[in-house]
Amino acid sequence: MAAGRGGRQGRMLVVPLLLVGLQMAGGASAGALPVVINTWAFRKAAETAWRVLQLGGSELDAVERGCGQCEIDQCDGSVGYGGNPDESGETTLDAMIMDGNTMEVGAVADLRRVKNAIGVARKVIEYTKHTLLVGESASLFAVKMGFPYEDLTTQESLSVYSKWLNQHCQPNYWKNVVPDSSKSCGPYKRPEKVASKQEQTISERSVHNHDTIGMVVIGRSGTVASGTSTNGAVHKIPGRVGDSPIAGAGSYADSTAGGAAATGDGDVMMRFLPSYLAVEYMRMGVDPAIACQKVISRIQKYAPNFFGAVICANTTGSYGAACNKIPGFTEFHFMVSSPLLSQPTEQVVDCI
């Protein structure tokens, strides 16, 4: 298990299989509504979303407030301000939110100097006819919507950046460039003649350097909403956008079937639209736990060593999760809130 994600935010409870349906071999999982499920052991996010529902808020409200709590808490340094600087030392944010009734999506990517990325994403739904706004223009939109400009840099993010520079900018995300990206900070350029075989450098993503909060909320009536928030891969090339703000990749919601969200190596996972695929499996009647496993298995065929996990829930309140087993990551912790549980509860599934 990646260090720090399993127990830093609260007590873990592995609930009996008959209650929660975290089957390793599939089968029907028990369900009740409403349900809130989110990636990783981000307890305060789960508690916040559940409280919003209990106080009469909408599913979209719960997703926005739950993911927003992680932005405030800087969950694992991978969500919100002050975490995961890019290779120029700046922290930028990606987020999305989806309404499973209307299929509307609001998303922002490469958001600069605005802390509440999921809040800005919600405003994209409410005040525009667009789906995704990016970069400096997304920040200008946020200001028009009343969000303040704020510095996303902290002493912690500066320290991470300084340490990386002192390690000759290792690891990084460049390949097939000169000077050698495994030994130098660049600046890089395309070589005169590209090698026929791609370089294999230490720039492979570590299981410790990137998470996302992904959340699915299903209300008492079966209405589904989902969302994500992240500051992306640490030391990413400026302008990089991963899976988190992409509908069908980072998360997906459809009130006729269910919802799903993904976390991990977004550069790989977004190529397979894992959240969309999981929801389509559930539409066909596949149990959520098995739907998640099928998605992971599909990605494994092309990228057996990818770091990632998926959470799934259907409109009856059944849910599940799955992850890809690699060294250092053998189980996945996630949060569930349900009438069947006395409180938001951390659960765990073994990777496949």
The residues carrying an active-site annotation are 212
In the chain, the DSSP E strands lie at 35-39, 93-99, 105-111, 132-134, 213-218, 224-230, 251-254, 258-264, 308-314, 319-323, 331-337, 345-350
> What is the gyration radius of the CA atoms in the chain, in angstroms?
19
Q: Within 13 Å of residue 246, how many CA atoms lie on the same side as its CB?
A: 20
Query: Residue 157: what are its φ and ψ, rounded to 5°?
Result: -65, -35
Q: What proportions of the chain, in percent to the nearest 5, are helix, strand and coil?
A: 30, 20, 50
Q: Is 328 annotated as a binding residue?
A: no
Q: Is 7 annotated as a binding residue?
A: no
Q: Is 6 annotated as a binding residue?
A: no
Q: Is 266 annotated as a binding residue?
A: yes
Q: Is 242 annotated as a binding residue?
A: yes
- CA gap 233, 212 in Å, rounded: 10
Q: Is 175 helix (H, G, I), strand (E, B) or coil?
A: coil
Q: Is 205 annotated as a binding residue?
A: no
Q: Is 110 annotated as a binding residue?
A: no
Q: Is 180 annotated as a binding residue?
A: no
Positions at the binding site for substrate = 240-243, 263-266
